[in-house]
Amino acid sequence: MPRIPTEEIERLKQEMSVQQLAEARGIKLNPHGKDLLGLCPFHEDHEPSLVITPSKNLWNCLGACGSGGTVIDWVMKAEGVSFRHAVEILREGTISNTQPTGKRIKIATVPKLPPPVDFKAEEQELLKQAVEYYHQTLKQSPEALSYLEKRGLKNSEMIDHFKIGCANRTFGFRLPDKNRQAGAAIREKLTKLGILRNTGHEHFNGSVVFPIFDEHGQITEIYGRKIRDDLREGTAYHLYLPGPHKGVFNLEALKASKEIILCEAIIDALTFWCAGFRNVTAAYGVNGFTPDHLAAFKQYGVEKVFIAYDRDTAGNKAADELASQLIGEGFECFRVLFPSEMDANEYALKAKSPEKSLDVAIRNARWIGKGKPNTVQQLKTLEPKAATKKESFQPPAVDNQQNKPAEEPQNPEMLSQPSKEEVNIFPLAAKEENLEKLEPVQAAAAPQRVEILTEIKPEEIIIKLDGRRCEFAGY
Ligand SMILES: [Zn+2]
């Protein structure tokens, strides 16, 4: 659970006065020196034993219950809620003003905060309301915002555009307990959707959440990334709704561009997005390219796929396998080569200018191949310098050692070479005016010298280069 910042707690302790809370409950207070005296509402009090010290905003019962403390302790006791819940109530300023009963306060089973969802809503509407609640929560969560900032994603346009949110347990505080009829019904619905777990806890608690929408704005999936990195062993840092992954992140990119950057994680994709590359999407993890992705790529007529998976063993392997699949489906594939062991996000974070460095990485992406199912065709060719290097020619699905070219960028700045030529291969890039100045060093999209012949069959790929012939079966 995200910690509440100390400053926030101190602020709440000062802002709401204990005296006002007591008076709101109908407790009559009489001055006694610098203190105020009244009947304690937390035990059967017959002579005033409640002492409030306005100058310090503290209270204390000198009678049977002996309770006391700050304004937060007051709300905990008065409302029968946890510390965290009391803080939320104070933040909201929704204090009940019930008369003192003199009876022991029961643990509250009815929340003191307005519910985050309409209990009568249908499933999709409920999901949208939950996502909207998380979205509003994120905007007021310094911890979640600073997590995004730490990942180089401090961008309010991005937060609004993708309805990014944060789950911090306050959603659950606003639902009635399951021992209430309304509570049981809504909790069951939310559990079925995957917002709550069977334990009653919020599934995405402690995470920044990223909803995935289909073309009609319906939520098909939610991805959650834990904010803290020091959680106990075995904690899952990446969470999704239950069931198979459905839908495609940033689907509108596919509609708008024939050239798509495909990352293995949403945070990487957002890194590109924030740097002005709007034609980007993400798989659900390194092996998370789904039939939905493929179907959408086809449906929207994507032609070129820039695979920007992590530059590590798993990423290289998955990129090879995916390229082989995509080439078989008729797409043209490129591998974006980040420095060894880096992903897009790390690479951008280390760069002086993420926009420039990512741009150079894209322009230096290695051409892998292009194909059409069950056809023999002449393919685009590699530019000569790359083709003379053994490791530069990367047929799909070969061993991973070959995927590490000798000349690879070791840090992002090495890639950033300003230049004069204007190339615009990414119509969606928001900051083209900056990017256009970069050199299309060995531009990946336009290599035209050495001829490669590829024959792609359902069961194998045959590649001919310089009179040599390679076959890849069972790809
Ligand atoms: Zn008392």
Q: Are the CB atoms for 44 and 62 separated by under 8 Å?
A: no
- 50 CA distance to ligand 1 middle (Å): 6
- What is the architecture, at CATH level 2, of domain 6-92? Alpha-Beta Complex (3.90)
Averaged pLDDT, 367-393: 49
- Predicted confidence (pLDDT) at residue 325 exceeds the cutoff of 60: yes
Averaged pLDDT, 317-343: 96
Per-residue pLDDT of 406-441, as tens digits, reads: 344 445 444 433 333 334 445 444 444 443 333 333
pLDDT of residue 108: 59
- 51 CA distance to ligand 1 middle (Å): 10
pLDDT of residue 434: 41
- 44 CA distance to ligand 1 middle (Å): 7
- Predicted confidence (pLDDT) at residue 455 exceeds the cutoff of 80: no
Q: Please provide the average confidence, as pLDDT, over all residues in the chain.
A: 80
- 100 CA distance to ligand 1 middle (Å): 12
- Predicted confidence (pLDDT) at residue 392 exceeds the cutoff of 90: no
- Residue spans of alpha helices (H) in 27-82: 71-79
Averaged pLDDT, 157-173: 94
- 68 CA distance to ligand 1 middle (Å): 8
Per-residue pLDDT of 236-270, as tens digits, reads: 999 999 999 999 999 999 999 999 999 999 999 99
- Ion ligand 1: residues, CB within 5 A, are 40, 42-43, 61, 63, 65
Say which DSSP state 444 is in.
Answer: T
Calpha distance 57→265 (Å, rounded): 48
Percentage of the chain modeled with pLDDT above 90: 56
Six token digits for residue 296: 């959408």
- 37 CA distance to ligand 1 middle (Å): 12
pLDDT of residue 234: 85
Angle at 271 (CA atoms; ends 430, 432), nearest 5 degrees: 20
- Going by pLDDT thresholds of 50, 70 and 90, the confidence category of residue 231 is confident
Six token digits for residue 83: 């510390």
Residue extents of the structural domains in the chain = 6-92, 123-240, 251-473
- Nearest in space to 362 (alpha carbons), one of 283, 259, 274: 259
pLDDT of residue 400: 40
Number of neighbours of residue 235 by Cβ within 10 angstroms? 12
- 175 CA distance to ligand 1 middle (Å): 30
- 65 CA distance to ligand 1 middle (Å): 4
Q: Are the CB atoms for 276 and 429 separated by under 8 Å?
A: yes
- 39 CA distance to ligand 1 middle (Å): 8
- Nearest in space to 226 (alpha carbons), one of 205, 196, 210, 242: 205
pLDDT of residue 316: 97
- Going by pLDDT thresholds of 50, 70 and 90, the confidence category of residue 379 is very low
Instruction: Describe the crossing of helices 83-92 and 6-15 by its angle, rounded to 10 degrees.
Output: 60
Per-residue pLDDT of 75-111, as tens digits, reads: 999 888 888 888 888 887 655 544 444 444 445 555 5
Say which DSSP state 231 is in.
Answer: P
Calpha distance 268→249 (Å, rounded): 12
pLDDT of residue 437: 38
pLDDT of residue 104: 41
Q: Selecting from 3.20.20.140, 3.30.930.10, 1.10.3130.10, 3.90.980.10, what CATH number does the domain 123-240 have?
A: 3.90.980.10
pLDDT of residue 165: 98
Class of domain 251-473: alpha beta
151 Cβ partners below 8 Å, 6+ apart?
Answer: 267, 271, 345, 349
- 106 CA distance to ligand 1 middle (Å): 15
- Going by pLDDT thresholds of 50, 70 and 90, the confidence category of residue 212 is very high
Q: Coil, strand or helix: which one is 13?
A: helix
pLDDT of residue 84: 87
Per DSSP, which regions of 72-175 are E strands? Answer: 165-167
Say which DSSP state 330 is in.
Answer: T
- 9 CA distance to ligand 1 middle (Å): 24
Number of neighbours of residue 54 by Cβ within 10 angstroms? 16
> Which range is most confident: 18-32, 54-68, 319-333, 439-453?
319-333
Per-residue pLDDT of 265-294, as tens digits, reads: 999 999 999 999 999 999 999 999 999 999
